[in-house]
Structure 1
Amino acid sequence: MTTLTVLTRLSIALILGGAIGYEREYRNRPAGFRTHMLVSLGAASVSLLQISMLEEAGRLIAQNPALAEAVKLDVGRLGAAVISGIGFLGAGTIFLTRNYIKGLTTAASLWLVAVSGLSVGMGYYAVGIGTSLLALTVLLALGRLQEVMFKKTGVITIEISYDGNQSTLAAIEAYLSRIGAKVLDLEHLESGKDGNGICLFTLDLRSSADKETFIKGILENKGVFSSRIIKGYESQ
């Protein structure tokens, strides 16, 4: 295998991993641009190492046929180790917040770029490139379709700045429950030195609900500093 072939395969793996990682980075997910690039590059490197070991074993056997029984390599062993081992990295992107699971898509994308990197490293360009392109289609095109579906069903996302107390958060959730809003997701963005926090609520709310009344009801809760809708209500 020539140096040009090695560099070409590594570069393609890097680009494919970066493309998927960019989408994750854009959505502010735990593992983004550089992480996906490194995973894909590492997987491709393992594939190239496996091929180089096979070629070296072939040369040794050609020079000394008596080594044929002694030199044995499993073609898929290193690749299998990468696929199973990437699970530990993917698990680090999954976390539980108040009974809501986040990071499953990012964990899946990390596993996918590892497979894509292995494919390119082994020289199966069609498999590696095709897998990455289909993954981007799922992440981008279907993501937009999902947003359109959310608009029709009254799903919105609101950003709330509050004093960081659990009692305030509980009061907000109680208010949402009273008006019939179903909490689909809750994400804590930050917590400053003063103890104040910012969180994102994704809600299944009737699209006919009055926007101003809804926001006013949240602000009436003691400990809430500000509230704004960042997704949804586009028809109003």
Structure 2
Amino acid sequence: MEVHLSLNEIVIRLVMALAMGGVIGTEREYKNRPAGLRTHMLVCLGATIIALTQVEIAAESLQQAREFPELLSAIRSDQTRLIAQIVSGVGFLGAGTIIVSNRSIKGLTTAASIWTVAGLGIAIGMGYYLVAICSFVGIILSLTVINRVIRVNTLKKMEIRYVHRSETKEFILNYFHENGIKVETLDFDVEFFEDHRVYSNVYTVDLPRKMTYSQVMEDLSRYKNITKIRIVDI
């Protein structure tokens, strides 16, 4: 019985890795993320190549054990050794897509997609086609469909700078009340100038499902006493 992979089997696994990695990478590139089509294809392909190499190493060890049974105790083959290096190594690549600026973190989803694509490549390379296909479907659903079906309103901090404290603060609170916006916490600050004061309120707000933060900012920016509005991620 032939223990090594045939050329057709190797080609099938490599093509599957390129195709599945390419589809996932296309979705990331369409959304203008740091890692796109080529990165995901290469990560999936690279993981598949390493997994194929591990399969061939195990096959070679098995063949040697058959040919030289007297050396059986000296022949060792760990199927997880190279694969474990993929899991840890891809973590560094994913970390490169994470951008931290102004207390805002971006690129986590892309980093996670790179990590899962590596896992997909391992499954393909090892020949676990059912696992690979089911995993591929799960990754695509997570990146494209889940966010449309399940929407989670996240708490965000909204910084509002303004002048004329009493009337502006009343306007802001009335706007929140009329639109069903819940204020969780409030941080207050004031800057003193020679002829005026500038007030800064940082509201942690919970929006109703029908509203967006961009809509709230646009509505509030129309008020003449408000000088600046920005979102600060928690």
TM-score by length of 1: 0.66
Determine whether 1:102 maps to 2:103: no
Give every structure 1 segment of 4 or more consecutive aligned residues whose post-TM-superposition deviation is greater than 3 Å. 172-176, 178-182, 203-218
Residue 62 of structure 1 deviates from its aligned partner by 1.9
Provide the residue aligned with 1:166 in structure 2.
none
Unaligned runs of 5+ in 1: 156-171, 183-202, 223-236
Could you report, residue by residue, the CA deviation over 1:28-78 in whole angstroms, capped at 9, with x for unpaired residues? 111111111101001111111011111111222222222212220101111
Could you report, residue by residue, the CA deviation over 1:163-214 in whole angstroms, capped at 9, with x for unpaired residues? xxxxxxxxx95449x75799xxxxxxxxxxxxxxxxxxxx976739688654
Provide the residue aligned with 2:120 in structure 1.
116
Pick aligned residue for 2:42 from 14, 34, 38: 38
For residues 73-222 of structure 1, what are the structure 2 equivalents within 5 Å? 73-146=77-150, 173-175=159-161, 179=172, 207=211, 213-214=219-220, 216=222
Provide the residue aligned with 1:197 in structure 2.
none
Give the distance between the partners of 1:61 and 1:212, measured in 2 at CA. Answer: 73
Identity of aligned residues (%): 42
Corresponding pairs, count: 184
Could you report, residue by residue, the CA deviation over 1:140-170 in whole angstroms, capped at 9, with x for unpaired residues? 11122356x66xx9x9xxxxxxxxxxxxxxx
Give the distance between the partners of 1:16 and 1:127, measured in 2 at CA. Answer: 13
Instruction: Quickly say closer, same or farther: Cα 1:99–1:61, change in 2 above 3 A.
Output: same
Provide the residue aligned with 2:6 in structure 1.
2
For residues 45-64 of structure 1, what are the structure 2 equivalents within 5 Å? 45-64=49-68
SS for the counterpart of 2:43 is helix
Residue type matched to 1:118 in 2? Answer: I
Provide the residue aligned with 1:24 in structure 2.
28
Provide the residue aligned with 1:188 in structure 2.
none
Give the distance between the partners of 1:37 and 1:112, measured in 2 at CA. Answer: 12
Pick aligned residue for 1:71 from 68, 75, 81: 75
Instruction: Quickly say closer, same or farther: Cα 1:145–1:221, change in 2 above 3 A.
Output: same
Residue 215 of structure 1 deviates from its aligned partner by 5.2
Provide the residue aligned with 2:186 in structure 1.
none
Give the distance between the partners of 2:10 and 2:136, measured in 1 at CA. Answer: 20
Work out which of the two has the higher radius of gyration on C-alpha atoms and give 1 or 2: 2
Instruction: Quickly say closer, same or farther: Cα 1:34–1:204, change in 2 above 3 A.
Output: farther
SS for the counterpart of 1:29 is coil
For residues 217-232 of structure 1, what are the structure 2 equivalents within 5 Å? none
Give the distance between the partners of 1:204 and 1:215, measured in 2 at CA. Answer: 19
